[in-house]
Amino acid sequence: MTLYDLANPTRFLKLVKIVLPWLIAATVIALAVGLYFAFFKAPEDYQQGQTVRIMFVHVPSAQLALMCYAMMALSSVGSLVWKHPLADVSAKASAPIGAAFTFLALFSGAVWGKPMWGAFWVWDARLTSFLVLFIMYLGIIALWKAIEDPIKAAKVNAIITLVGVINVVIIKFSVEWWNTLHQPASIIRADGPAIHSSILIPLGLMALAFVFLFVTLHLMSMRNEIMRRRIRAMRMRAASVVPAASSSTITKPAPAGAR
Amino acid sequence: MNWMKCLFVREYQLANRVGGGALIGVLFFLAVVTIFPFGVGPDMILLARIGAAILWIGALLATLLGLDRLFQADREDGSLELLVMSGRPLELVVLVKCAAHWTATGLPLVLATPILSLFVGLDFESIVRVTLTLLVGAPALTLLGAVGAGVTVSMRRGGVLLSILVIPLAIPILIFGVSAAMAGAIDSNNFLVPFMFLCALTLFGLVVGPLAAAAALRVSGD
């Protein structure tokens, strides 16, 4: 089975139906084990105390926030270059998930920052880049909502996503440059202390669990989007049939709707 | 080459004649600069310190304000379709349109900058630096803004969404522009490093802007 076979939504839905229960089980197990290690096995930090446990949610969220954008960019290439219909759906499904995880990373960072730094927010380079990423996600979601025709919306979004992916690198670099200009002593050290394995193992487990979670959510969201498009096509078909039926003389065949 | 000249003249004249022309942008720029002292207080020392930032943000907002008409007016009267189907490279058409748009709306902002600098108490050398950075950096704002304008061209009220999409892309331009404008002497590295980055961003916009905007325009044609 190649990627092109997957372009058939029905075949894709069938595959999702088989894979999804296993993925959900894997996500639940990985999350349970990860959270158990994070809360009961990992030691307190000698400086940060219990708040170090926020990291087990914060770091995987941040990692997923970037992964979602990568997913969106890859899907955008797919929909622009190969006009792969599922790539459109995949790009659309990634955006809200990415926005949610970016928000989670920002929120957990703020909650951790209050006791540690004494402030919910500082204009640190990483925080600032993530805030910009969050705005970009929300802009892309708004653009999806603003254009009604799904095919046109997909192409337009693919263009802005790809311009964004080049710019993300420039923004990251420029924000770091700006940050060193304004506050030479950064709070987060670039060469942080090596992390002990007692923390690294739960962190890895949580990262794995979050990746499972992402794949699960992404597939479910793609499935919903395909359903939504089918409903839209059915409604349009129904709307175009009804007046013809009421006139009762002409029975026009229903036009083949969008996929 | 002749069609490019004709298109440039057409765009320039339209931009100047429709909807108040170049002065409306400058007026908005003046208004933005004027409200800052009401927000932060009439402290000339403070204003001189953040003056370059005020001018840059004012120019950014004034640029964003004019961008939604870049392609939309042409779409409404149907000339955009003609431009797409004219057989000329659409990327070049977009580039010419951006150049004309910038000459009509961006250049007046740059020319107004030295006068508006006086309101925020900048000294002579700072005025030169701010004007120079805006002259180099403002085209990048227009070019990256063209991407947003192309993407939102089919929307009736795309202006706000356009700003939301373009502002993240404009952050690097703002960072290097303001850094260069606030740096020390004009021949020192403090000025030259961000200034060079600003030039690089403009060149980058020169490539990415027309390419992406043309792709978006092709898509949004019905």
Q: What is the DSSP string of A72-123?
A: HHHHHHIIIII--HHHHHHHHHHHHHHHHHHHHHHHHHHHHHHHHHSSS---
Residue A191, domain member (yes or no):
no
Choose the mutation target among B171, B191, B193 for the interface with A, i.e. most A CBs under 10 Å: B171
Its domain, for residue A119, covers 17-179+197-242
Structure tokens at B109: 């902002």
User: B147, A177: Cβ pair inside 8 Å?
Assistant: no
pTM value surpassing 0.95: no
Asked if A175 reaches chain B (Cβ–Cβ under 8 Å), the answer is yes
User: B151, A160: Cβ pair inside 8 Å?
Assistant: yes
Residue A94, domain member (yes or no):
yes
Q: Which residue of B has its CA nearest to A161?
A: B165
Asked if A87 reaches chain B (Cβ–Cβ under 8 Å), the answer is no
Residue A144, domain member (yes or no):
yes
B chain contacts of residue A164, beta-carbon cutoff 8 Å: 168-169
pLDDT of residue A184: 45
The one-digit pLDDT tens for each residue of chain A (259 residues) are 566 666 778 888 888 888 889 999 999 998 888 888 888 777 776 666 777 788 888 888 988 998 899 999 999 998 888 888 888 899 999 999 999 999 999 998 888 888 777 778 878 777 888 899 999 999 999 999 888 888 888 888 999 999 988 888 888 788 877 777 655 444 444 455 556 667 778 888 888 999 999 999 999 999 999 998 889 889 989 888 866 555 544 444 555 544 4
Choose the mutation target among A163, A166, A176, A178 for the interface with B, i.e. most B CBs under 10 Å: A163
Asked if B23 reaches chain A (Cβ–Cβ under 8 Å), the answer is no
**Sequence-ordered list of residues with C-beta below 8 angstroms from that of B164, at least 6 positions apart, any chain:** A135, A138, A139, A142
Residue B192 confidence class, pLDDT cut points 50, 70, 90: confident
Residue A98, domain member (yes or no):
yes
How many separate domains does chain A show?
1
A chain contacts of residue B72, beta-carbon cutoff 8 Å: none
pLDDT of B100-144, one tens digit each? 999 988 899 999 999 999 888 888 888 989 999 999 999 999 999
Place of tokens 């590295």: B189
Asked if A34 reaches chain B (Cβ–Cβ under 8 Å), the answer is no
User: B212, A159: Cβ pair inside 8 Å?
Assistant: yes
Q: Which residue of B has its CA nearest to A149?
A: B220
User: A143, B204: Cβ pair inside 8 Å?
Assistant: no
Residues B208 and B95 sit within 8 Å (Cβ to Cβ)? no
Residue A143, domain member (yes or no):
yes
Tell which wins on pLDDT, A192 or B148: B148
Identify the CA nearest to A55 among candidates A163, A169, A180, A195.
A195
Distance (Å) from the alpha carbon of B49 to chain A's nearest alpha carbon? 14
pLDDT of B17-50, one tens digit each? 766 667 888 889 999 999 988 888 888 888 888 8
Residue A190, domain member (yes or no):
no
List the end-to-end C-alpha distance of chain A, in Å, as a whole number.
21
Residue A253, domain member (yes or no):
no
User: A171, B168: Cβ pair inside 8 Å?
Assistant: yes
**Prediction ipTM score:** 0.85
